[in-house]
Amino acid sequence: MTIHQLSRKNIQALTPYQSARRLGGKGDVWLNANEFPTSPNFDLTDRTFNRYPEPQPQAVVESYARYAGVQPENVLVSRGGDESIELIIRAFCEENDAVLYCPPTYGMYAVSAETCGIACKTVPLTADFQLNLSEIERQLNGVKVVFVCSPNNPTGNLIKRSDLLKLLQMTAGKAIVVVDEAYIEFCPEASIVPELVNYPHLAVIRTLSKAFALAGLRCGFTLANPEMIHILQKVIAPYPLPVPVADIAAQALQLQGLAQMQRRVAEILANRAELQKNLEKLPLVQQVFPSETNYLLVKFQDGQKVFQTLWEQGIILRDQHKALGLQNCVRITVGTKSENERVVGAISAIK
């Protein structure tokens, strides 16, 4: 038998998640991964590299709990938010269970489920990118985990809080509801975290990758009730966070680091407003969707032509043409002022 034939059947059939780096490109303007355009500067203070790290680094857990307004027992630290997704599936889904998610949305919910051999159910978002609650309720039989991204990637909009609460009510005692808040720093008032005390089956995913400008650190969090955190601790790797990662994460969550993050958010929001205004003036642009994030979803007359033309100029965007309901759409990360100006100029030059 070949190595391919020896692999699990579901892995043989799996299409891996097409991350920004996997897609490649040779650019000098990278606006395809929703990263902050510049890197913060931290110096390592902990150099005990000869020792294994803490299973859950206390300084990071306590600092993030303080920042998020929860108790330390409500926090699990992981290798990015992506590990949170997989941990929840591994901890709660058995062979005959399913996960449910609502496209167009983040692709790793499906990939993680398929990797674990768990079936996927999809209930597409409505035309205005909101939950179809009646259809979700109809599909809940056999579903163990429901994933919702708010603000949603790649559409950029918030899911209505009232709908999230209805979803939590209809799934009580039946399924875990995971709300992915990777972009919540750009609209912190919309967080569902205060509802953790009311819904023991709620889990919230957070990350330092976006507003904290630490995508390369790979540090994420699951916020949930202590019973769920205890279950997830059973399946997480013994030492998920390397010493340098924990060191920098703890620094980023101190008062000075939080102040820097908030300044970055203000800068992105101002640049986003300017970018949206300039894009809306272009004849090739059909619609710029409202956004509560650090990116804009833009519908063009010919989105693939725009994507390819800018790609060839070293301006790397994210093509969404194949995503459900997003034909001719391109996702543009908000960059620096000069990067945004270059994007607008390149699009305006397309004939």
> Is 90 exceeded by the pLDDT of residue 8?
no
Q: 143 by DSSP, 3-state: which? A: strand
**Rounded to an integer, what distance in angstroms lies between the CA atom of residue 161 and that of residue 192?**
8
Q: Residue 19: which pLDDT band, with cuts at 50, 70 and 90?
A: low
> Is 90 exceeded by the pLDDT of residue 24?
no
Q: 221 by DSSP, 3-state: which? A: strand
> Is 90 exceeded by the pLDDT of residue 284?
yes
Distances (CA, A) of 107 to 85, 102, 192: 11, 10, 22
> Is 70 exceeded by the pLDDT of residue 17?
no
Q: Which of 14-18, 82-86, 214-218 has the weakest average pLDDT?
A: 14-18
Q: Residue 71: which pLDDT band, with cuts at 50, 70 and 90?
A: very high
Q: Nearest-CA neighbor of 208 among 69, 95, 60?
A: 60
Q: Residue 318: which pLDDT band, with cuts at 50, 70 and 90?
A: very high
78 phi/psi in degrees, rounded to 5: -140, 175
Distances (CA, A) of 218 to 48, 223, 326: 20, 17, 29
> Is 90 exceeded by the pLDDT of residue 1?
no
Q: For 146-171, what is each residue's pLDDT tens digit?
A: 999 999 999 999 999 999 999 999 99
Q: Residue 28: which pLDDT band, with cuts at 50, 70 and 90?
A: confident
In contact, 17 and 114? CB cutoff 8 Å: no
